[in-house]
Structure 1
Amino acid sequence: MRRAAYRGEIVDFTGDPLRDGEAACRHFADGLLVVGDGRVQELGPFDALAARIGDTPVRDLRGRILVPGFVDAHVHYPQTDIVASPAPGLLDWLERYTFPAERRFADPGHAAEVAGFFLDELLRNGTTTAMVWATVHPVSVDAIMQAARARNMRLIAGKVLMDRNCPADLCETAESGTAETRALIERWHGAGRLGYAVTPRFAPTSTPAQLAACARLLDEHPGVWLQSHLAENADELRWVAGLFPDARSYTDVYDRFGLLRGRSVWAHGIHLDDADRERLAASGATVAFCPTSNLFLGSGLFDAAAADRQGLRYAPATDVGGGTSFSMLRTLAAAHDVMRLQRQALSGLRALWLATHGAAQAIGLDDRIGSFEPGREADFVALDPAATPLLARRTAQAGSLEERLFALTMLGDDRAVAGVWIAGGCMKPPTARGVDGFT
């Protein structure tokens, strides 16, 4: 990509606002972001940089806030078409909606069509990196990887592994699932901006042989990720306890198979005790915090304060289709509400950090994305604090950056995403608000 500069209000982070306070935030009220060859080259006040960038074209985005692209730590692309499907709880929802929807992904044409829509919806909402679930079908992984590569997105995805307690036409053997996963890793991991995640659905649908095979795959391919579900629902916990009676807890099931490690991302983590959190933190694992899904399915409330207290990393996630929105702004608003119900707090600064630099750290990509440090990949978003009449009125009254970001988080949605750039290239969502100089 040719060199270009973007003028506007700029916000990113060098640390966690919970730990470092306002010093964690880097803010330029009138800033300049210079990108070239797909990466950030310079960042600073407009007055200081403008005179030395020569004939580099400058796009005037004043009135917008430039932030690193959002990171979604857990989302199911095959569940795009079952968002907002009524069910009394997780396990019924899986049987009634999820498994029937996932059967259709044996068809490459269907998988490709949904993958394209899904990624465009992520981009329309400002999400530039995601950890994505496919189905048991290898062609479903091929479809999402091909679609992401066409958009030059940074994406991590994996084929679901299930060898018991699932419909017969979605069931495999530990051996066949391992062989297909190994082939997919060789085909896609490290191809451009793509990464692979070994993806056992959850302990109830994997035999001990399959869980052990997952650990072997991770050992064979140390650069790949692992993603699965953990302690989401009370009925699920009782099921796991019956299947693994010798384990101390649901977390211990995975630990006994060597699956707790860095680059492992565990969705939900609601029903954990201090010993579970301590072990997850010590292993370097991450929990994907899925507030809209947890509220929609009635699964429970993630204890963010306990995770912070014990040093357990977590990152926000939409969890579509259990989650009800692709918007990271709506997800952060729900995270705030989940925390307030437990007498906890989430500031505007920390919410934005969690969705950008914090999430990148949590999934092990902060050396590539999540901030505007020179050399980082130029994935960024222009947010419009006046995207709706109410948002415009509220942010106009704000007396600080914190108050404006908090209002944007609480009141914003896809309409507040005015522009999205992937590796320096402009991706203009078809329904986004226009940006001055947008081409």
Structure 2
Amino acid sequence: MKSVAEICSDLIRFDTTNPGSRERPAAEYVATLLADAGIEPEVFESAPGRTTVVARVEGAAKDALLIHGHLDVVPADPAEWRMHPFSGEIADGCVYGRGAVDMKGSCAMTLATVLGMAARGERPRRDLVLAFLADEEATGDYGSRYAVTERRELFDGVTEAISESGGFSVQHGDVRVYPVAVGERGTAWMKVTAHGVAGHGSRPAIDNPVATLAAALARVAAHSWPVRLTPPVAALIESLAEITGSPIDLDRLDAEAARLGALGGLFEGQIHNSANPTMLSAGYKVNVVPSTAEAHVDGRYLPGFQEEFLETIDALLGPKITREFVNLEDAPAAPYPSAFFDELASVLVAEDPSARPVPYVMSGGTDAKSFARIGIEGYGFAPLMLRPDLDYFGMFHGKDERVPVEGLEFGTRVLTRLLTG
């Protein structure tokens, strides 16, 4: 049987860059591993090449647990990398390549866990649904959204799910803090458009939409969003104060996040709504004032704060700017405190006595948003013990992305405890 590092390396070698239509070869690899272990995979496409694999493993109890991961990755420029981003090379105790952290390493841990259980003849404590999805790095239209609408029956009986962006370690002295995600900020990707009057570039402009849009985007970028403390983040901050032995001033949370370094990174992006202009397009000739100018804004809002976020955005853009959603997703939240959160925490501590699990809210988003639409409560839990020199957040979509082999092996042991008890 292949090791978890070998599976991770194999998956990285498939160039599944999104945008593109490239998940099919990686999906076929996953399906073959499952089939060879006696686990029957369901392979389907939402469009040519946009391929997803789902499989169900029968357990002792029928309330099913979903483990989902995505096979696509963001682009990588080989010229910027120490090693080719699709080499899957193993060096310095790490597997290198695009997707090592986000999230082929996690997919490899899931596969190694269930393949190991099958080889030993072990049955999970509850039904287990595995999903290896396309298109998470875009909107999920070709992956999780398609799966929950067109293949809803594959997820019958699922009550909870686990996936990426939680369960990783952050070193603090002699302890390792493991944030377990119980929610995500909502997504509001918007195209904003300024309308004006076209004219010759040499003449005084009557109503220049480029200038109007530039001023509006400057207001959005400069806006200082107020602190909004949701209950899970308040619980996280309380836990961090206990772990560090130092009180955290709730009236100065931005400064406290900076003071706490890596630990502060667990809440610095989760105490505000945010909006960042990311794309800009206007005009077709230097001596022509265009009639329109367009931009895209990446907006994120905290659970329960969509209305406040949109009201603020409209006020910042002003009356001359229209907006439309490119992607709008609710901010999902899973129960916390909960028995399932305690279960996730307990298997971490069982494998790492220095573990301090804490609740966490992701600043970005995952396929959990799609599964929340059909009533599945999603937790961020892809257990990974990291060396102190590895920056988890810095490796997401960054160059020289890599994951430690020992960390993958740790995650596989934790998942095995979770699934078998």
Query: Do these two structures clear the TM 0.5 threshold for a shared fold by scoring above it?
Result: no
TM-score, with length taken from structure 2:
0.27
Give the structure with the larger strand fraction: 2
**Bigger relative contact order, structure 1 or 2, given CA contacts below 8 A and separation 6+?**
2
TM-score, with length taken from structure 1:
0.26
Q: Which structure has the bigger radius of gyration?
A: 2
Give the structure with the larger helix fraction: 1
